[in-house]
A and B are shown apart, each in its own frame.
Chain A
Amino acid sequence: MYKIIRIVLALLCFVAITLLFLDFTGTAASLWGWLAKLQFIPAVLSLNIVALVVIVLLTVVFGRIYCSVICPLGVMQDCINWLRGKVGSKKSRKNRFAFKPPLTPVRIIVLAAFVVAVGCGFMSIAALIEPYSEFGRIVSTFLAPVYDWGNNLLATEAEQQGSYLFYQVSPKAVMLPAVILAGATFVIVGAFAWFDGRGYCNKICPVGTILGYLSQVSILKPVINTSLCNGCRKCERNCKASCIDAKNHKIDYTRCVACMDCINNCSTGAIQYTVRRTHTVAAEPDDSRRTFIATGLIFAGALASKAEDKLTDGGMAVIIPKQKPQRASRIVPPGAVSVRNLERHCTSCQLCISECPNGVLRPSMSMSTFMQPEVSYEHGYCRPECTRCSEVCPAGAIIAVDKAEKAVTQVGHAVVDTDLCLSAKGEEKCGKCSRTCPAEAIVMVKVEEDNEESPLMPVVNESLCIGCGACENLCPVNPLSAIHVEGHSVHRKI
């Protein structure tokens, strides 16, 4: 019974979180965007007290059900592990686990390294083993293109039927480093799941380690009733966490993910999910608390990133595709507060990138900010009505802003290149950037002040410019726009 409840809830969460990364319409995010915010590391990074209290309470009462139900990477591993149980000879499928002693030093070292990396601001490195964003990268790299393709098939069909139910989406650019990273993550985590059940969660995963030690104090736990146990060791040999020492009737609760499989497997009903005396609690919880606090209070420096390489547009020929300009300073989306804040909090889960309907956000390919969102305006600009990235970010890297707040948030300012500008060169009476600027920060002035016939050039009033990129995106000059945005390392308000 417990097992069925666990599976139902886990699958619900799993599908829902997967959809968060796939659904480009924003519907999923508006309905269950909170599921992403319930993820542990993002909650720690964003100091989301409510989410943390919920997770801690859940763990203290029920054990590590977070790992079995809420964590999408955990559920993904359970699915792989379940598949493993369906292939090969009967002998290799059944009873393939055995109790193993915990690899405590590895767990502690990895956790410590994780904490240090986060603490020193190397978030893009720490994110490599952050379970939720690992999952996010896998889904948005491999599943999202398939989903978009399926949607576009439906959209083509809908178009023929004259329906507006589905619309075409332009596929996101596939970037090799992203594919390599997500692919490697999937292979490594998948291999753990295939050969070692929940080995990844109990050896590598920092969340698994933290919640593992916390769950030692949990009220409800699977407990072996020695008077009923017939010593068949069925529980031990089917425990994917390899944490049941059936011989000694002991369970290592730091590794138990409360999957309830053992309860189901026990033919004598000797294992019960029940209240247990807590005198076995070791000194370790202290450690986990310490980490927990440490993680939450991390502040450190970070490096500004540079933006380069060319991204091709899916558009048609003849219009020369826009190229990414060399930006002297990086742009981060409204709500990010500062480049440092984003770099320090972002787990590079790709959720904001999946959400962005304007093609503005894409994963960074720069080493120091690898896979973190990067703003650029070749495919679109940061539109005034959209605040979706800030709404979905679970990690506090992009803090929720409303439209009014966004309209006065200066994420950067536009810079004119008069050598490229059609108007300044006198080739065209353009003024597109000036007319299109939502902040009315661009004015057309004479190139030569005293000359009546002088061509006009755009000038930017930095005190009004919000850096939305409308001017850059709509500038008729290609491939490099005659006006581009430079980011502000710390956002300002008008």
Chain B
Amino acid sequence: MKKKSNNIDRRSFLKFVGAGTALAVAGCAGSKKDESSNAATSATGAGEGEMTYRTNPKTGEKVSILGYGCMRLPTIPGTKPGEVAEIDQETVNELVDYALEHGVNYFDTSPAYCQGRSEGAMGIALSRHPRDSYYIATKLSNFAPQTWSREKSIEMYRNSLKELKTDYIDYMLLHAIGMGGMEQYNGRYVDNGILDFLASEREAGRIKNLGFSYHGDVEVFNYLLSLHDKYKWDFVQIQLNYVDWLHAKEVNPRNTDAEYLYNELKKRNIPAVIMEPLLGGRLASVNNHIAASMKQRRPDDSIASWAFRFAGSPDGVLTVLSGMTYMDHLKDNLRTYSPLQPLDDNELDFLEKTAQEILSYPTVACNDCKYCMPCPYGLDIPGILTHYNKCVNEGNVPSGKNDPKYAQAKRAFLVGYDRAVPKLRQANHCIACGKCKIHCPQGIDIPAQMARIDAFVENLKQDTLA
């Protein structure tokens, strides 16, 4: 039964894939091509050609399928804890130049990213190029209650324009609606009249497209879509990848399947901007044998390329955001998307099986976004969770003392733990104050995870694993 239902899901997915590839330029007119046209498209060479573009149905502008996410910009190493990391502006400039040169034209930032330095750095890098050669996306990131007032929120918006050295924003988002439910949504955007303010800014032409990004409580997502007739959302940013497509609830009970979110947008002909195509990098470093079967199918393609092809395949996707820190990331993604070779039937089937297999590994849903940081008690929360996930994927989280690999896995886990996280910043120092919890866009119960990981470490150290 399970297989059958998978097939149906896959077929419904393929419909979008087929349409998407055929109409990569023509936009999403809702055509229903069959799979043969999809196969024909994918016969073209990979990575040697032109970037694939999607068309914004409202403005008709062509947006590169690869969007530059500016949350993980390179920093100058050697920053002391407690200090704000200095952005490596020279490298950012290089990356931006290279990206523009190779057809990337969508740059997604926020006043909250990189400890508040992302917009400024992008402003410097982008303002060196003609303003009409790229689209800027930024957000109204008024998370902290002290920024909920109308004045503070408008000040944040104006500051974005200043930092980005521009007088208009191409894509403006309400940031992470759904976190904190309806209450927070109302506090941040409705009670203070900010949503109407932004709509008026769109009227005035200082905002070209207005949309929102969504995490968490699906009630807010549904509510905002019900307001579509009033606000005419130009785009919506959602988390989509081959795991979240059908298994979002298994990753995190609070999340909603990307298939649902995407279909809701599709119904209303709202273009989707995709975030977390790699699930915070977790789909770029998968378990060894998953990696092997990916390489077996496409030896020249990176592990990450599978996730990017998946995210880019549905035709309603405007762009897929990737937070590229290094030139290698950028080049690899350019290879994947120049042009995009959509997934075929077999490959979709394979990724669905892969998703199920990935879920059989009990990783924590951390995407390493660092919103939880800094922890007042000095813990390196993303470091701890990333190390744990790495060990899960590498098979170094033994289930018990009788595990044949126990001794080896124990060593890899514990030695690797001390390498990844300084002793004073490890999970055993968590006092469960819970200050981090409200900041996590993935809704991870961080103190509970810290306690669980610490208990696991104790079991390893004391050889008391069942």
Contact = CB atoms under 8 A, between A and B. Distances in A.
Given A315-B422, A317-B80, A435-B432, 7 more contacts: A167-B415, A168-B418, A313-B424, A316-B80, A428-B431, A429-B433, A476-B377
Nearest to B460: A385
B80 A318 contact: yes
B11 interface: no
Contact of A315 (B377, B415, B423): B423
B422 A316 contact: yes
Contact of A164 (B416, B423, B424, B431): B416
B77 interface: no
A476 B463 CA distance: 27
Interface in B411-464: 411-412, 415-416, 418-419, 422-425, 428-429, 431-433, 451, 461-463
Contacts of B415: 164, 167
Contact of A476 (B422, B431, B451, B462): B431
A159 B419 CA distance: 8
B463 A432 contact: no
A164 B412 contact: yes
Contacts of B193: none
B433 A474 contact: no
A245 to B, nearest CB: 60
Interface string B51-94: 00000000000000000000000000000111000000000000
A433 to B, nearest CB: 9
B411 A164 contact: yes
15 contacts: A167-B415, A168-B419, A313-B424, A315-B424, A316-B80, A316-B425, A317-B82, A319-B378, A380-B423, A385-B463, A422-B431, A428-B433, A430-B431, A431-B431, A435-B432
A150 interface: no
B80 to A, nearest CB: 5
Interface string A349-389: 00000000000000000000000000000001001110000
A436 interface: yes
A383 B461 contact: yes
Interface string A430-445: 1110011000000000
Chain A interface: which size bin? 20 to 34
Nearest to B451: A435
A168 B418 CA distance: 8
A250 B39 CA distance: 103
| Top 4 A-B pairs, shortest CB-CB distance | A318-B82, A319-B378, A167-B415, A318-B81
Interface residues of B, number: 24
A422 B377 CA distance: 12
B462 A167 contact: no
A318 B431 CA distance: 17
Contacts of A428: 431, 433
B80 A385 contact: no
A400 to B, nearest CB: 19
B413 to A, nearest CB: 9
B419 A432 contact: no
B443 to A, nearest CB: 21
A175 B425 CA distance: 26
A319 B431 contact: no
B433 A430 contact: yes
A167 B378 CA distance: 23
Contacts of B424: 313, 315-316, 319
A474 B429 contact: yes
Contact of B428 (A159, A313, A474): A474
Interface in A240-272: none
B377 to A, nearest CB: 5
Contacts of B419: 159, 167-168
Nearest to B464: A385
B431 A432 contact: yes
Nearest to B377: A476
A319 B425 contact: yes
A167 B412 CA distance: 10
A97 to B, nearest CB: 52
B429 A476 contact: yes
Interface in B103-119: none
Given A159-B419, A431-B432, A432-B431, A316 B463 contact: no
A318 B432 contact: no
Given A318-B80, A431-B432, A385 B422 contact: no
B171 to A, nearest CB: 37
A90 B431 CA distance: 71
Contacts of B431: 422, 428, 430-432, 476
A317 B462 CA distance: 30
Contacts of A431: 431-432
A131 to B, nearest CB: 37
Interface in A415-455: 422, 428-432, 435-436
Contacts of A167: 415, 418-419
A385 B462 contact: yes
Contacts of A380: 423
